[in-house]
Amino acid sequence: MGVEMKCRKCKGQMTITADDHRYRESGLENVVLKGIDIFRCDCGERIVSVPRVPELNALIGENLIRKDSPLAGNEIRFLRKNMGFTGKRLSEIMGVDNATISRWERDFQQPAKAHDHFIRLLYITEKRVSADQAKQIVESVFPEIKQEIKDMPDMILNPAAWTTRPA
């Protein structure tokens, strides 16, 4: 027996399908969730059911800190928010002006390589990434980060990748 849901607009019965969903709610354009439950109504209403969002966001964050090019503005914003920091708080921790964080997040200015690394290390610390993983990232990912900014390819994430992770 499947989950039933009434439409919040027209009160009609919604149908459920498993479909792919571009997870723009994250603030990133390149995250695609595979086989997510999507409720649809004949009136056009659509509700996406994303399970275990904190674990999903942790998985996205881990993908971002492993990318081999500098962090883009929307990626810095994602990491900051996922750590629970305001722009002001991140600026205090990093020793830069709050306006600098804003310029980074809006892609008006690229952070220095050291700031990019610091954001990644701060994320590792805040999210309690294991010491082995942290060491692997510092030793293998950091030296591979190239100077040129490039778009990260789509992250295609199956629910099993984050729903089976410990909370």
| Count: domains in the chain | 2
C-alpha–C-alpha distance, residues 155 and 104, integer Å? 22
SS3 category, 39: strand
Could you tell me the CA-to-CA distances from 82 to 11, 14, 50, 122, 161 in Å, in that order?
Answer: 35, 32, 16, 11, 18
Statement to judge: residues 137 and 78 lie in one domain:
yes
Look at residue 63 and tell me if it is in a domain: no
Look at residue 7 and tell me if it is in a domain: no
Q: Which domain holds residue 122?
A: 68-151
Look at residue 103 and tell me if it is in a domain: yes
Mean pLDDT for 56-80 is 94
C-alpha–C-alpha distance, residues 113 and 5, integer Å? 49
Statement to judge: residues 93 and 131 lie in one domain:
yes
Cβ atoms within 10 A of the Cβ of 39, count?
A: 19
C-alpha–C-alpha distance, residues 79 and 83, integer Å? 6
Q: How far is C-alpha 108 from the chain's CA centre?
A: 21
Look at residue 25 and tell me if it is in a domain: yes
Statement to judge: residues 79 and 136 lie in one domain:
yes
Look at residue 166 and tell me if it is in a domain: no
Statement to judge: residues 79 and 39 lie in one domain:
no
Q: Between these two residues, 92 and 158, which has the higher pLDDT value?
A: 92
Mean pLDDT for 115-119 is 94
Statement to judge: residues 76 and 22 lie in one domain:
no
Statement to judge: residues 77 and 25 lie in one domain:
no
Statement to judge: residues 133 and 79 lie in one domain:
yes
C-alpha–C-alpha distance, residues 121 and 109, integer Å? 20
Instruction: Supply the pTM of this predicted model.
Output: 0.82
Mean pLDDT of the chain: 89
Percent of the chain with pLDDT over 90: 65
